Copies of this chain bind each other. A is one copy, B any other.
């Protein structure tokens, strides 16, 4: 067969050892914090039945699902007429019944319903797995990427929101990143739509307000007008554009502004309770009430959370919120949950840009034994085993290649020490150790070598 120029599919990536160490640093940090808070790990299959996935992510989402071709004779159930007419929708439903996971939330909802009898609620689960989306790849957006999700399901208590915010704070503290945790509540947004007399237009209103920072007040007004918002409603919205100050001041304003909306006041109450919990055990990150926050509005019903880096200008690096009925679609209504999702790829970019990956994130071979030949190999092997058992990552160059080749390998692999054990060393029961950064050579016995490597 002719040689092929190898590549990976568009939007997917290989991860090299150096990248893996840094990625593992992020995943391990997040996992450890999830565990510390009593979250239990689950995993779900990469493939789900399309009946589980379709219709859960909107029309646009359905298009972004990667579909698996049925195996065997995939044309079996397809109508001849459909084929002749090139009827794509008619054909696709017959030739593919599984798709790749698009996120971790819908598979989790499916899991909860399927395993309801084994689960003791409230259930705290975390899940760290890749997801796939047939999106157009661009900088920072991939077709395969990891999500790191924690959800609590089966409890309406705001203690859950508190715990998730503590988790966020702790993860970013451990990653040595300064962040602002923005919070909002869907009920406040519903209240605003209510008091300006446009309760049905909550989506249009919040989608527009969400752009306030980006496009400015005037453009937002124009957008709302073009969506058919009445002049009266727009005028009533004015004070919201002018809202300023810290959380307490914002809440005071909203208390008055939303005085006639029961829903709005309930939202304010929830924010008060949450801030109350946070005052008993404060977090390091800034907590900022931001009523322009509207992510996943069709989805969230209470708290909305979004995390921004204070140091790098990049989209949200973690987000989440409360959903009141995630499992209803699978036949289990009325189960409230709240969850967050860390965006590992963006966190990676932030750490990289700030040069904040700890050097320990890369686990390195500490010592390379040069290979002088069979006799030396047999002398070295037991010593190599002892060093490894002491926790020293060590290697023996597998071939008795030219010295220069072996040293180049040590150099390129960033191995800090090279051990030279030839006839003389075997005679004297010593090891010559070269420090690669300085070129210094010293003779040691095994004990001294071990001390040197462990220090």
Contact = CB atoms under 8 A, between A and B. Distances in A.
Interface stretch (A117-125, A258-266, A290-298, A347-355): A117-125
A244 interface: no
Interface stretch (A83-91, A207-215, A312-320): A83-91
A393 B83 contact: no
A185 interface: no
A391 B35 CA distance: 10
B114 A14 contact: yes
A358 to B, nearest CB: 17
Question: By CB atoms of chain B within 10 A, which of A40, A72, A124, A329 has the most?
Answer: A40
Given A1-B55, A157-B398, A409 B84 contact: no
A10 to B, nearest CB: 9
Contact of A46 (B16, B130, B399): B130
Main secondary structure of the interface of A (DSSP, over half): mixed
The residue among A64, A156, A331 with the most chain B CB atoms within 10 A of its own CB is: A331
Interface of A: 1, 3-9, 12-17, 20-21, 24, 35-38, 40-49, 51-52, 55, 63-64, 66-69, 71-75, 78, 80, 83-84, 86, 88, 91-92, 95-96, 98, 100, 110-111, 113-115, 118, 120-122, 124-125, 130, 132, 134, 143-144, 152, 155-157, 159-160, 162, 166, 276-277, 280-281, 328-331, 363, 365, 371, 377-379, 381-382, 384-385, 388, 391, 393-399, 408-409, 412-413
A131 to B, nearest CB: 10
A277 B378 contact: yes
A113 B72 CA distance: 32
A396 B159 contact: yes
Q: Which 3 A-B pairs have the closest CB atoms?
A: A3-B331, A17-B40, A12-B45
A64 B38 CA distance: 40
Given A9-B47, A88-B75, A132-B46, A155 B399 contact: yes
